[in-house]
């Protein structure tokens, strides 16, 4: 059992190691512009592109993401005839924004799958060190941690008999936000201890276990993103 788990971890590491984290960061910047100025065709191509990228890391996550997008699309379709209601209109707008910028959320999820040491090594490669690099790394590594804490809160709500509802947004917000704030305060202490123990504040030359380099896969992905950006700009001008 140990050998099999170790083999799976090595395969996962090698797969993520083939794609430079800086490529994901560059794609996030490119797709931010594409989704803002692009048309529906560019949006669909962007969505297919990022889903294909996510599938390289996890087929299971890709399937869950597709199911989530289909559910959001279905809710938008069901709520559209009832936009006269203020509450339904607000929920409709929120879901529409989530669906519109779904490619960015997916890229953020891909970037959060890298280890913190891998992300820091990538930022050091381009001269982004210190507070900026650490801040960006902590932000993206904090995304899966928030997901774990939300599951814990959800389980706690079930035990205590509380139920979340999209038709009671204020109460639902309170049920999730208040315990999440306390959990985040506790996590911040753990992060501080982790940063100090890893010697981030050391002023000497630092090395990394991860070899960060640009590969053919990175070049192809960036070219694909730039082509989509060029197509979006071409439609405008």
Q: Burial, 169: exposed, middle or buried (Cβ in 10 Å; 0-12, 13-18, 19+)?
A: middle
pTM for the whole thing? 0.72
Interval 150-166 mean pLDDT: 78
Quick one: 71 and 97 in the same domain? yes
pLDDT of residue 80: 84
pLDDT, one tens digit per residue, over 61-81 is 899 999 999 999 998 888 888
Q: Tokens at residue 27, please?
A: 């794609």
Between 121 and 74, whose confidence is greater?
74
Quick one: 96 and 175 in the same domain? no
pLDDT, one tens digit per residue, over 10-54 is 344 445 557 888 888 889 999 999 888 888 888 899 999 999 888
Quick one: 23 and 102 in the same domain? yes
Quick one: 104 and 125 in the same domain? no
Spatial contact of 163 and 175, defined as CB atoms under 8 Å apart: no
Query: In whole angstroms, how far apart are CA 175 and each of 120, 149, 185, 186?
Result: 35, 13, 17, 18
Does some domain include residue 203? no
pLDDT tops 60 at residue 198: yes
- As a whole number of angstroms, the distance between CA 233 and CA 217 comes to 24
pLDDT of residue 113: 81
Residue 206: pLDDT band (50, 70, 90) is low
Buried b (16+ CB within 10 A) or exposed e, 180-189: eeebeeeeee
Does some domain include residue 202? no
pLDDT of residue 82: 79
- As a whole number of angstroms, the distance between CA 64 and CA 21 comes to 23
Quick one: 20 and 90 in the same domain? yes
pLDDT of residue 103: 92
Does some domain include residue 24? yes
Quick one: 223 and 109 in the same domain? yes
Quick one: 76 and 138 in the same domain? no
């Amino acid at each position: 059992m140990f050998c099999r788990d170790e083999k799976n971890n090595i395969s996962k590491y090698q797969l993520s190691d083939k794609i430079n984290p800086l490529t994901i960061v560059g794609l996030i910047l490119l797709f931010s512009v594409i989704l803002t100025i692009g048309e529906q065709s560019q949006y669909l191509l962007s969505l297919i592109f990022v889903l294909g990228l996510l599938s390289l890391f996890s087929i299971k996550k890709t399937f869950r993401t597709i199911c989530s997008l289909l559910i959001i699309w279905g809710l938008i379709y069901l709520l559209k005839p009832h936009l006269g209601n203020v509450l339904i209109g607000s929920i409709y707008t929120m879901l529409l924004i989530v669906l519109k910028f779904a490619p960015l959320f997916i890229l953020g999820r891909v970037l959060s799958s890298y280890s913190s040491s891998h992300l820091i090594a990538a930022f050091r490669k381009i001269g982004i060190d210190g507070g900026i690099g650490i801040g960006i790394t902590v932000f993206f590594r904090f995304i899966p941690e928030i997901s774990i804490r939300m599951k814990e809160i959800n389980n706690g709500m079930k035990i205590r008999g509380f139920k979340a509802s999209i038709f009671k947004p204020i109460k639902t917000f309170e049920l999730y936000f208040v315990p999440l704030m306390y959990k985040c305060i506790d996590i911040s202490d753990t992060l501080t201890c982790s940063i100090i123990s890893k010697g981030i504040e050391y002023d000497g030359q630092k090395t990394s276990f991860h070899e960060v380099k640009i590969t053919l896969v990175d070049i192809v992905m960036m070219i694909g993103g730039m082509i989509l950006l060029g197509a979006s700009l071409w439609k405008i001008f």
